[in-house]
Amino acid sequence: MQLLVLISWPYFRKHILRTLLTVAGIVLGVAVFVGMHTANQSVLFAFNRTVDRIAGKTELQVTAGETGFDEEVLERVQSAESVRVAVPMIEAVVDSQIPGEGSLLILGVDMTGDRSLREYDLESGDEAVIDDPLVFLAQPDSIILTSEFAGKNHFTVNSQVPLGTAFGVRRFTVRGIMKSSGLSSAFGGNLAIMDIYAAQKMFGRGRTFDRIDIAVTPGRTIAEAREELRALLGPGFQVDPPSGRGQQFEAMTAAYSMMVSISSLFALFIGMFIIYNAFAIAVTQRRAEIGILRALGATRGQIRRLFLVESAVTGLVGSIGGLAFGLIIARGIAASIGDLINDVYGVAQRADEIATSPMLLGLALVIGIITSIVAAFIPARQAARVDPVQALQKGKYQVLSAGENRVRAALAGIFAVVSVACLMASSSRVVFYIGFALAIAVALLLAPLLSLALSRAIRPLLKWLRPVEGALAADSLIQTPRRTSASVAALMLSLAVVVAFGGMAGASYSSIIDWMNTALNPDLFVIPSQDLTIRTLRFPAEMAQELAALPGVGRVQRVRNARIMFRGTPIMVVATEIASLSETVRRPPIEGDADAMYRLTAAGQGVMVSENLAQLQTLKLGETLEIPAPEGVVRLPIVGILVDYSDQQGTVLIDRTVFERYWRDDSVNAFRVYLAAGADVPEVKRRILERYAGERQVFVLTNTELKAYILRITDQWFALTSVQIAVAVLVAILGIVNTLTVSITDRRREIGVLKAVGALGGQIRRTIWMEALSVATLGLVLGFALGAVNLYYILQIVQHDIAGMRLDYIFPVSVTLALIPTMLASSFIAAIWPAESAVRGSLVEALEYE
């Protein structure tokens, strides 16, 4: 500790910029880690809180995925001995029609029974509405608002509230305002209560309920009630405590969470590399000081501990900064994740508060400190090995010895062979990941050698460009391979991740576009909500005939899609008229016979599944799929496997007749409309909108609009890539500023000589700029090379562990082309300050410097 105060503190103070850069590495890593996880947790917390507050005293809930079920199920549930109270519910997320308010969660409840589970604590004077439910029931336009929502929008009792329903915008009358309480704060307060039968009508639900909330008979346990209801209802229903919905939410967004985890780990790893870089440089810089300490009697252990304690302190300070910064950025990320989950998964929720978990913050603090210590371990060991006699031999320590090069090359060779063997010899995921880690290790081991070789290779070019500045810039890199390679390696790693994610995004786009072009070929799509993924509003089946009767309409296909639980995972069932579909869409299957699969599915004798479902649930062609439904288990063979992007967890494509039979639901989520020959798309769109004006809420998307919508959602999903590019740019700037700051200190005398013999300010600047651009160029070359390998591994991970999608290997040329100017510009920006400090440094001091 004394050494820390005596030796380290003055060093930190003297090199304040470098110290800040080192701390910035950890701040960056910890902030991204904390920000992403806190945001993710906040979204989950908000969802769970909404579920919890809506649940009230509910102990169990009966659901059938999101399809809902027939009203008669309520009687069966109520007949169970272990059920004390069973009340039905409908949930619908609708457009509030108020600018800036977004969506409103409508709970359709049965007022006669619901108050035994939920408190509707109304503001004074309104209680009569609930005291006499018949008043509420007698007026189907009745609605109860929360005091938060009413207050914000200046609604009072008897105000008229416009809401988007299946019949277009309808005005509802406020009959009561709930006091601030648990229930009223669910969904961020954007909540309204409506009679369940009014809700069925308004949201096109027919005679179905979304779920039944249950309180258990006194003396019976929840587990007993659960068993009784499961036996009573069969496998098509889920009987779970309200918290089970949170688990389903987590399962549904697992792919996104995995991406978030990968991104935050990547940020930490990069942070670690910045620390390593900074400490490696510090050790070489302070070699003379270490030599003196050793000569004065400091043991190797003391030197090692000095550096490790320094790194721990740096880690602590950086982690605290990272926590603070992470919590600041978490709010923005949470909003973005909320939007994404809404758009991609169709699950609306509002993360208005940041859920800070002491556990997560503690973990981030520990990870930050450990990362810092681990990063400094090798430099600390090098410091401990400093030979006091050689310590003052300036420059020599920067050179990589031939022996060291041989060891690095040999290790890299061995790791490369083992890595390839891991890939080829075993299908085990653990072995695969070991191979991946070894491939990264090979790149890190080879980075110094390759940096050196590349620096030598570009010297003639730089010298040709600028005889003095170019040659000196290249020489600076060649003379200090340790310093150079640390920055180059950090850059290489971050660019490799960007390339891999860019490649994955590119392949996904390419595959999605291919899917859209073949599967989504109708001229128009008629939908009940602006938001394609919101399925709470539905059309009646008869609308198909009405649409078909309109002039210019050639063919109409009804589509019902709903998320159901399959083997504990939410997947998507898409039910449509397969016979008609087979005449308009001919998609080559990945497995199965194209003709037979459409024929058998249309006849209700088979199902088609998406490739990702087959991959994630290890399903094979010909295997009998068992899908639990409210009316029994659908048992049909898999007759085709094809690429489908309807859902991340997978899709089952069945004929509509099968769905109607097993789910007793003939409602429609969307109509696929093909125009008659010669019909005009805008004209038919206008006719459809006119036909339903004032009668029904109808949105009509043209083929181009639908594709644009899907691509917009895809863009949101891959927005993470932009975060990674931002991190890569920061890494470039931090690493290069660090490298150049040290480079300028090392070359103070050289720069002094240059000035003394006539170099102008511009010429000195160019030398530093060229050095920075060279580091960026080396990082780009190595980053692209490692990125090419990384992309292969990431595609494998996507296929086997995240999305189950087999994506083509397409090197992201556009991403790499965009990265070149981005990184060169970043490195140039990073070089501006160091270059100015080089120009402005005292000439006399520089020439005396040794």
Chain residues in the site for other proteins (CB under 8 A): 395, 467-468, 471-472, 475-476, 478-479, 749-750, 752-763, 839, 843-844, 847, 850
Q: Give the shortest CB-845-to-other proteins separation in angstroms.
A: 10
Q: Give the shortest CB-834-to-other proteins separation in angstroms.
A: 18
Q: Which is nearer to other proteins, 53 or 766 (CB)?
A: 766
Q: Give the shortest CB-396-to-other proteins separation in angstroms.
A: 11
Q: Which is nearer to other proteins, 14 or 154 (CB)?
A: 14
Q: Which is nearer to other proteins, 10 or 762 (CB)?
A: 762
Q: Give the shortest CB-492-to-other proteins separation in angstroms.
A: 25
Q: Which is nearer to other proteins, 478 or 537 (CB)?
A: 478
**Residue 731, CA atoms < 13 Å, CB-side half-sphere:** 38
Query: Are 205 and 71 in contact, with CB atoms under 8 Å apart?
Result: no
Query: Are 330 and 32 in contact, with CB atoms under 8 Å apart?
Result: no
Burial 684-703 (b: 16+ CB within 10 A, else e): bbebbeeebeeebbbbbbbb
DSSP element (H, E) containing 296: none
Count of beta carbons in the 10 Å neighbourhood of residue 450? 20
Query: Are 709 and 597 in contact, with CB atoms under 8 Å apart?
Result: no
DSSP 3-state of 94? strand
Q: Give the shortest CB-846-to-other proteins separation in angstroms.
A: 9
Residue closest to 696 by CA, chosen among 141, 209, 202, 102: 202
Please identify which residue in the block is written with the tokens 């409103």. Answer: 104
The answer for residues whose C-beta is within 8 angstroms of residue 324's C-beta and 6 or more apart is: none
Q: In what order do the strands lie in the sheet with 607-610?
A: 624-629, 632-642, 607-610, 651-655, 569-576, 553-566, 670-675, 524-527, 699-702
Q: Which is nearer to other proteins, 801 or 836 (CB)?
A: 836
**Percent helix, strand, coil in the chain (nearest 5)?**
60, 15, 25
Instruction: Give the 3-state secondary structure of 617-647.
Output: CCCCCCCEEEEEECCEEEEEEEEEEECCCCC
Q: Which is nearer to other proteins, 587 or 747 (CB)?
A: 747
Q: Give the shortest CB-756-to-other proteins separation in angstroms.
A: 5
Q: Which is nearer to other proteins, 479 or 617 (CB)?
A: 479
Q: Which is nearer to other proteins, 137 or 468 (CB)?
A: 468
Residue closest to 835 by CA, chosen among 827, 823, 845: 827
Q: Give the shortest CB-727-to-other proteins separation in angstroms.
A: 34
Q: Which is nearer to other proteins, 461 or 689 (CB)?
A: 461
Q: Give the shortest CB-481-to-other proteins separation in angstroms.
A: 13
d(CA 731, CA 425): 36
Query: Are 524 and 700 in contact, with CB atoms under 8 Å apart?
Result: yes
d(CA 589, CA 610): 9
Helix axes 719-746, 748-756, angle to 10 degrees: 70
Q: Which is nearer to other proteins, 689 or 843 (CB)?
A: 843
d(CA 369, CA 318): 8
Q: Which is nearer to other proteins, 294 or 748 (CB)?
A: 748
DSSP 3-state of 802? helix
Q: Give the shortest CB-753-to-other proteins separation in angstroms.
A: 5
Instruction: Look up residue 531 and give its amino acid.
Output: D
**Both structure tokens of 69:** 């079920």
Q: Give the shortest CB-850-to-other proteins separation in angstroms.
A: 8
Q: Give the shortest CB-352-to-other proteins separation in angstroms.
A: 57
Q: Which is nearer to other proteins, 9 or 464 (CB)?
A: 464
Residue closest to 275 by CA, chosen among 563, 59, 489: 489
Q: Give the shortest CB-382-to-other proteins separation in angstroms.
A: 23
